[in-house]
Amino acid sequence: MSKLLFFVLLSSFCLGACSNDPYQGVYEGIKNQNESKKTPQEKELNPTPSYDAYKKERSQQSGN
């Protein structure tokens, strides 16, 4: 069972890394990995922001 979980997590990380923006791919891969560990209630109460929202927030923080 743990081998299957490892394969699923590795696959989601690798597929998330296949995008035009390498930072977005890494973000999406880590996001998918973290989302797979959350319960449905945690996902509903604390949704993970999209890459665009994350990038916007980060640019605002670095601008201050």
Domain count for the chain, please give it.
Answer: 1
List, as own/partner pairs, every contact residues 50-54 make where C-beta atoms lie below 8 angstroms and the sequence separation is at least 24, other chains included.
51/21, 51/23, 51/24, 51/27, 54/27
Kindly state the average pLDDT of the residues 50-64.
Answer: 88
Residue 16 clears pLDDT 60, i.e. is over it? no
Overall average pLDDT of the 40-53 stretch: 91
Structural domain containing residue 43: 2-63
Mean of the per-residue pLDDT values of the chain: 82
For range 3-16, the mean pLDDT: 70
